[in-house]
Structures are given as C-alpha cells and as structure tokens.
Amino acid sequence: MRQSVVIIGVGIGGLMLACVLHRHGIDATIYEAEPSAHSRVQGGLLDIHADSGQRAIEVAGLRREFFRLVRSGEDAKRVVDQDGKILLDRVGDQASSRPEVDRGALRAMLMASFPDRMIRWGRKVASVTPLNADKHRIDFIDGTCVISDLLVGADGAWSRVRPVLTDVRPVYSGTCFIEIGLAAGDARHAASIELIGAGTLMAVAPGRGIMVHRNADGSARGYVALNKSEDWIGAVDFRNARAGLAIVAQQFTGWAPHLRNFILDSNALPVLRPIHASPVGIAWPHRQGVTLIGDAAHLMSPFAGKGANLAMLDAAELGRQITACPDDCDGALVAYEAAMLPRSRTIAHQSARNLEQFFGPDAPGSVRDLFGESGRAV
C-alpha cells in the first residue's frame, strides 16, 4: 500500500489504528495538536472489555504487554446515598473479565509499539478541504499542510474531520462534571477516604452525584456530577477555585459532611466539563478517502463505560479491513462503517439510558440496580 494514511488525533483510538497498520507494514502519520506526549495528565482507570478493547489489543498483538498493566481488584464499587449509607458494596474481582488499567499506561504501551517518527506533535488542524476523488488537504494553524489519500478523524468530540462527512454536532446532555480530589495522608479526610472502600464510590441522588476512585497511594480522584443548564455552567467562575467549589458544594446542602468534604477540601484543579453526546444513531453518507473512529464518530456519555473500548475496537476493525484489502481502501471503509455505525448506535442507546438512571428521579436505588448482581453496569 503506497497511499498516504493520515490520522488526526493521538488518543487511544488513533494510536491503536497506527499500531495495527504498522504491524502489517503500513505506516501512517498521526498529527496531534498537543506539544508532546507529556503535556497533560491522561486521566484515571479504564476497564477494558473482552468483546471490544481486549479484542482490539489481540488484533494489535499486544496481549502480553497489556496484561502486565492490569491493576487487579481495582473494579471494587460502592454505591451510597446522600447520608453515606451503603446500598451496594462489591469487592474487587482479581480475575475480572474487564480488567482495569491506567489510561496513561495504556497510551504509553500503544505509543511504544511503533516508531516515534509516526507522530507529529504540535500540529493543530485549522481546516480540512476535500480535493478530487479521495484526497483531502489538511491545513494546520502553523501554516503547513498535508495531502491524504486516506484520512481518519480520531480527534474526539470536536473533530475537525467530522464536518467533511456530516454537519451533525454533539449536544449538551444536561449533565456536567467538575474534577475533584483529596490528597493522601491527611487525617481530616480519613472518613471520606474510608467511605470509598477499595475502588470507586458513587454517591448519587436525583440530579447530582459524587464519584471518586481510591488510588493505591490512598489519594482520591473523581468528579462531581450535576444536572444543570448551560446558563448555570456559564455563570460559575473557577478562576478562584475555592469560591467555585463553594458554589458547587451548595448543591449538596444536607449531604453527609464526609461526602461534602470531597468538594470543599478538594486539591484538584476544578475543571468543569459539560458532558456532550452525538445524537443517538448518528450516520453519514459514505465518502471516499475519509472516515471517523471513536468519539469523533459517536460521542456518548461515559455511563456505559465503553468509550475507550469502542475507540480501540473501531481502530482495530478499520485497521483489519485496510490490511485485508490494501489495494481497495474505499471497500475497506465501506465494510468498516457498515459494522461500526450499527454497533455504536446500540451502545449509544445504552449510554443514554444509563445516564438517566444515574441521576434520574429513582437515584440512588436505580444505580444500585444498574450494577446488578455482577457489580458492573449492564
């Protein structure tokens, strides 16, 4: 295959695609807006599912490397009400079929699977312009450009590649997250940390929740979740972190003090993240020479726990189609999209349903029931 494969975005999906292609002798180039691999923290734990994320890892030939990253027993879950009463308490499963790994470690594993030269850092996309046949011109804000024979948008929620295929954009789900965390070793936080248990705590009520994970060093990181309007989001100012967190804590008046302390005593930068999602069933007419994977293709809320898994599966399936038909890229894209779009539609329905159960009128009982007998979202 002599065509120029351009991947936009160095997230889990873009890296997986580059890995699969490189394994089969097809070099791609990933263009990423961030200046380096270490320019920001990569987030927390991911549970990697056997039917999607692990399947992709097998295609990439990284099974052995992956299982070295697994953090056994990290899938413990505890659901409590606003008083801290425990409604569900599941211990971690040392032999879980959905092992937990650190997102940063997973990303590093994928980057180590192909040459450094395949990633071009500090190249933020300004525009994408269709040319003749299957070619596209990608212009970067630094004034440079490249021409692709095959362009893959792996650039997340606000993809610059997606508008080439559809004018559909993600919409606000009605729920926003605010990052929170507590340091280890502070006696003032002992009751809060203890309530988490060994894994993840979910304290929920209609329209709000506190979700935090206990790290191996005894610290905690997670999110406050609130069902709020975009006007409310726009009015909260986190330039003064303490003042902003105090406003958020007001939404939890009457909650147990050791739950509110996750907010009031947080030492994390309180980044506010509105949760957006693509309309369920998003699709587009096939276009030669371009496609999407991961959040760029089917952004959904995190309440099915499948975003990273789907991104990896998309990438592995696209890579498999390309390597099976190296002289028929268009046929490879048609086959990939024919399977990906229905699959993502099913999971998007599940994600939207789970979001309603988390913060709907029946919470927290609905969350306890959602995790069922297995302790995992169903």
Common-topology check for domains 5-74+93-170+278-359 and 172-276: no
Residue 252 has what pLDDT? 98
What mean pLDDT, rounded, does the chain reach? 92
* pLDDT, tens only, 159-210: 999 999 999 999 999 999 999 999 988 889 999 999 998 889 999 999 999 9
Count of alpha carbons within 13 angstroms of residue 360, beta-carbon side: 15
- pTM across the whole model: 0.92
Work out whether the CA dihedral 13, 345, 280, 98 comes out positive or negative.
negative
- Residues 104, 82: contact at Cβ < 8 Å? no
What pLDDT is recorded for position 361? 94
Helix or strand holding residue 82 (H, E): none
Q: Which amino acid is at 84?
A: G
Residue 303: count other Cβ atoms within 10 Å of its Cβ.
25
At residue 365 the predicted structure's pLDDT band, cuts being 50, 70 and 90, is very high
Out of 3.40.630.30, 3.50.50.60, 3.20.20.70, 3.30.750.24, select the CATH number for domain 5-74+93-170+278-359: 3.50.50.60
Summarised one tens digit per residue, pLDDT across range 297-320 is 999 988 878 899 999 999 999 999
The string of pLDDT tens digits covering residues 129-163 is 999 888 999 999 999 999 999 999 999 999 999 99
Residue whose tokens read 């494969």? 5
CA dist 298 and 289 (Å) reads 19
**CA pair distance 234, 200, nearest whole angstrom:** 29
Q: Residue 68: enclosing H or E segment and its boundaries?
A: none
Residues 21 and 277 sit within 8 Å (Cβ to Cβ): no
Distances (CA, A) of 31 to 5, 132, 151: 11, 22, 11
Which residue ranges make up each domain of the chain?
5-74+93-170+278-359, 172-276
Record: fold of 172-276: D-Amino Acid Oxidase; Chain A, domain 2 (3.30.9)
Q: What is the mean pLDDT of residues 107-116?
A: 96
Check residue 95 and give its pLDDT. 63
Residues 6+ apart with CB under 8 A from 239: none
Query: To the nearest 5 percent, what fractions of the chain are helix, strand and coil?
Result: 35, 25, 40
DSSP per residue, 11-49: SHHHHHHHHHHHHTT--EEEE-SSSSTTSS---SEEEPP
Kindly indicate the confidence band of residue 375, based on its pLDDT and cuts at 50, 70 and 90: very low
Q: At what angle do helices 103-111 and 12-23 cross, to 10 degrees?
A: 30
